Amino acid sequence: MPLHLVPLALAGAGVALAKSLSSRGDQPEEPTVSNGNLDRLILDRFSGDGPCPWLNLAQDESFDGAILKASEGVGYAPSWFVEQWEAAHTAGVRFLGSYHFLRFDQTGASQAQTYLAQLRKVGFGSGNHFNPVVDFEQGGPTHANRSVGKSQALTALNSFMATVEQATGRPVILYGGSALRDWGITKADIPRFWKLWTARYSATLPATTYTSMGMSVSDLFAWQYCGDSESYLPGYPKTVDGFGKCDISAMQMSLTEACQ
């Protein structure tokens, strides 16, 4: 990723994205976007992203919420998360969520405890809160995740998801893409799989983005169409006033479904 805040409600957008062409020729792929499911936008953010003028987001009618990085591994649980969550809530941001960046070289259960401790600090479950999110990525060229193999990484992922779901009573959203595809990981390899959040910085979201992982359009939580304010989706925002570079996603399910 890294994850950033996602704008959630953008009315009157174009419909040129309803279908894209398959790599098999001119046969149209499964529809992935439409007027109905591109109207809900969210912004994700982490501590290194810069200023967060939450009132600007709350007053921007294109956005319904934000997702913040809460933790990474077993040792990273910044006070920034709690401070920004509370500030966003006070400013009137309607929906809030959090994510954990998974370390492949540490046990999933122990990482889940770090993440759950962060959730308890903000009273998770007592408001309009998106389901928990786990970020499954190999990271940059020197990240420790790059030295870990598929089996160990998958074990950490499944353990994390099971532990968090058991503790919160909510299934976990999986953020991922290239690491899953490169390792040939599919939905069948993830017993607690619920919904996928994936990135594709293009004018369409080709069905192969998720079908290659054994998933369908109904398995999608959101499409991150904008990364660091780079986007090719006509008519949709690339930033929020005062936030600088942003990551923005279009939800593919309803707000209420994503919070239960």
Q: Please, which pLDDT band fits residue 40 given cuts at 50, 70 and 90?
A: confident
How much is the pLDDT for 38? 59
Percentage of the chain beyond pLDDT 70 is 85
How much is the pLDDT for 1? 59
Residue 213 amino acid letter: M
Average pLDDT estimate for 225-241 = 93
Alpha-carbon distance of 64 to 214, in angstroms, equals 30
For residue 132, pLDDT over 80 is answered with yes
Domain of residue 73 covers 5-259
The CATH number of whichever domain residue 84 belongs to comes to 3.20.20.80
How much is the pLDDT for 18? 28
Average pLDDT estimate for 221-237 = 93
pLDDT digits (tens, 9 = 90+) for 69-119: 999 999 999 999 999 999 999 999 999 999 999 999 999 999 999 999 999
Alpha-carbon Rg for the chain in angstroms: 17
233 versus 123: which is more confidently predicted? 123
- Residue 71, strand partner residues: 100
pLDDT digits (tens, 9 = 90+) for 161-209: 999 999 999 999 999 999 999 999 999 999 999 999 999 999 889 999 9
Q: Please, which pLDDT band fits residue 150 given cuts at 50, 70 and 90?
A: very high
Alpha-carbon distance of 39 to 193, in angstroms, equals 25
Strand, coil or helix: 24: coil
Count of structural domains within the chain: 1
Q: Please, which pLDDT band fits residue 39 given cuts at 50, 70 and 90?
A: low
* Tokens read off for 49: 């992203």
